[in-house]
Amino acid sequence: MRSVFIASVAGIAGVILGAWSSDILRSGQQSSYFEANDIENYFLKNPLVSKHNISLPEIVGSSWEAACFLGVGANATLVLDGILGINSWNLKSGRIVDEGLLDYLSKVILYNADGAVYVMSFDERDYKFFAPSNCHATEKVSISRTSEEVNSDPDGYGDHLITYRITVKE
C-alpha cells in the first residue's frame, strides 16, 4: 500500500515538474504567429473554395473599410500614420513587429473609419502574394489561394508554398 502511495506521489510530481520545465524551456522562443490570421484560417476551414475568388468581406467581415497589401520589409506603422494620421489609429488585432528583426514578412492591413486596425503577417518563405499596390476598398477586393508542395516528405508532411492572388474590381 505504501509503495502505491509513493508511486502516485512521484507520478504526480513528475507531471507537475514536466509541465513547469516545458514552460521554462519555451519562454525564450517566439511563437509563430504569422499564419494565424483570418485569411489563412478561412481557407483552411473551407478547402473546397480555395481556388475561387472569395470576397474579402466574406473572409474578414464587413466592418473593415479598406485593405492595404504591403510587400516584404514595408513599415506598417509608417503606412498607417500616412493614411490615418499619427496617433489616430488603434491596433485591434494582429501585431506590428520591428521590421529590422522580421523583414521577411508581407502584410495585409485592414482599417476602418474609427481608426481600428488589423494587421496580418505572412512569412515570405511560405507565402507569396500577388496583389496590386496601395489600399483598396474591401468590398472591391477578392482573394484566391493555391498550395503547392515544394519539399515532399515520405510521411506526407512536406513543405508547402501558399500563393494568394488578390483582384480588385474596377
pLDDT exceeding 90 applies to what percent of the chain?
Answer: 35
pLDDT at residue 100, as a whole number: 59
At 90-106, the pLDDT tens digits run 999 888 866 555 678 88
The answer to whether the beta carbons of residues 34 and 97 sit under 8 Å apart is: no
pLDDT at residue 156, as a whole number: 66
- Mean pLDDT, residues 139-156: 84
Cα torsion 63, 66, 72, 76: sign: negative
At 52-81, the pLDDT tens digits run 789 999 999 999 999 999 988 788 899 999
DSSP state, residue 139: G
Phi, psi for residue 106 in degrees, rounded to 5: -90, 150
pLDDT at residue 48, as a whole number: 80
pLDDT at residue 31, as a whole number: 39
pLDDT at residue 72, as a whole number: 84
Nearest residue to 63 via CA among 95, 108, 111: 111
